[in-house]
Amino acid sequence: MSCSRKLYVIFPAAGSGSRMHSDKNKLLMEVDGIAVIDRTLSAFKKFADEKDIDLYCVLVVSPGKIAEWEEYLDGKDYSSIICAITEGGDTRTKSVGNGVAVLEDYSPDDNDAVFIHDAARCLIDTDSISRCFDAICNDDICVCVSGVKTKNTIKMVKADTDESPLVESTPDRNLLYEVQTPQCFKYGVLTECYFEASAEGYEATDDTALAEHYGYDVRIVEGSYANIKITTPEDIAIAEALLKNMH
């Protein structure tokens, strides 16, 4: 195992949240009485406390919103784990890139573990975090992502522009995983991927796709079906139902 007992986590939270159709920031919406962001950050603090890990978290928020977030987070039980709040960009890749740039101030070692975790995945559990941490500490793994086998059959279509898209193929379901976050890197590989992506203007909807693009092996680590991303209004109700099952 080549990691120290340090974990750096970048939380991209600079999305517009437009699919929630609400004036309120979706991260401040409550799931069973507790705000989404509070649940997410508390889960990581619990993991760090249980495993005696030094946690350094960077929250990436919408431009112009840093002061608002500082005020919101002030005095929270978990506020000690947040080392920086920075502004995001107009894409997820740019937002995470800004978070990666901030990490430099904390001088991580190349082998230190860095996770990227969607702030909106508030049902993340400590076992899933722990499996990812153990995997990325393995000498042979530089990049991994939490994922679950897909339960549905997935169709690839020729183009998504048509009203009734034409199916191109049906990939073998046994080889398909839905990936989630945490997306996990050794720091040295993460900085290389984001440096190259920024120079090339390469964008992806998930962070480990950058590693694939630059030729790194990416492993999938067993996640949890409950680790949903709060995106649309029904996700709040789904999360509340899942929580009842988790207690």
Q: Is 119 in the site for ligand C5P (CB under 6 A)?
A: yes
* Structure token digits, residue 132: 């990812």
End-to-end alpha carbon distance in the chain: 33
Q: Is 91 in the site for ligand C5P (CB under 6 A)?
A: yes
Residue 99: DSSP 8-state: H
Q: Is 12 in the site for ligand C5P (CB under 6 A)?
A: yes
Q: Is 118 in the site for ligand C5P (CB under 6 A)?
A: yes
Is 111 or 147 the residue whose CB approaches ligand C5P more closely?
147
Q: Is 198 in the site for ligand C5P (CB under 6 A)?
A: no
Is 94 or 131 the residue whose CB approaches ligand C5P more closely?
94
Residue in 13, 141, 197, 242 binding ligand C5P, rule: CB under 6 A: 13
CA pair distance 239, 146, nearest whole angstrom? 18
Q: Hey, what amino acid is at 25?
A: N
CA pair distance 85, 95, nearest whole angstrom? 12
Q: Which stretch binds ligand C5P (CB under 6 A): 30-38, 44-52, 89-97, 102-110?
A: 89-97
Bridge partners (DSSP) listed for residue 179: 147
Q: Is 147 in the site for ligand C5P (CB under 6 A)?
A: no
**In the complex, minimum distance from the CB of residue 121 to ligand C5P, in angstroms, rounded to a whole number:** 8
Is 12 or 182 the residue whose CB approaches ligand C5P more closely?
12
Tally of CA atoms within 13 A in the half-sphere of 67 that contains its CB: 1
132 contacts 184 by C-beta, under 8 angstroms: yes
Secondary structure of residue 25 in the 3-state scheme: coil
Is 138 or 148 the residue whose CB approaches ligand C5P more closely?
148
Instruction: Please name the residue that has the structure tokens 């086998």.
Output: 149
180 contacts 131 by C-beta, under 8 angstroms: no
Q: Which stretch binds ligand C5P (CB under 6 A): 9-17, 41-49, 160-168, 232-240?
A: 9-17
**Nearest CA-CA partner of 11 in 71, 77, 69, 76:** 69
Q: Which stretch binds ligand C5P (CB under 6 A): 2-10, 118-126, 141-149, 187-195?
A: 118-126
* Residues in touch with ligand C5P (CB under 6 A): 12-15, 60, 88-92, 95, 118-120, 205, 229, 231
